[in-house]
Amino acid sequence: MVEPVSLSSYHDDRLWAVVASIGRTSRVAEVFSSRLAALADQAWREQQVNAYANFLRNSRQPTPSYTVKPIRRADLPRSWRPLPALGFLHGRLL
């Protein structure tokens, strides 16, 4: 006999990912359990890119763009690590 799944024990594996993109290349920068936290991180990362816009232009580095997308925990690669917030300054974004 199969027992019904209790809704109280159901684990929602949906997370909110801040995704960094340069051209056609994308990478999950950070994950959050709430969309509001992901939007706050996205805004902060965009602020950091804007603060270093002159440096990026002078060093001819492409500027990353950030989006927030839902992601399942199972879709994250096993070796995934958060992306350093200012990693783009060293050319290590993607």
Task: Quote the CA–CA distance of 34 and 56 in Å, as a whole number.
Answer: 31
What radius of gyration do the chain's Cα atoms show?
A: 17
**83: in domain:** no
> Which residue range is the domain that position 50 belongs to?
14-72
**93: in domain:** no
How far apart are the two ends of the chain, measured CA to CA in Å?
A: 49
Alpha helices (runs of H) in the chain, residue ranges in sequence order: 35-51, 53-58
**85: in domain:** no
pLDDT in tens, 32-80: 999 999 999 999 999 988 988 888 788 887 888 999 999 998 998 888 8
**58: in domain:** yes
**54: in domain:** yes
Task: Quote the CA–CA distance of 94 and 89 in Å, as a whole number.
Answer: 12
**78: in domain:** no
Name the band, by pLDDT with cuts 50, 70 and 90, for residue 13: confident
**87: in domain:** no
Query: What is the tally of structural domains in the chain?
Result: 1
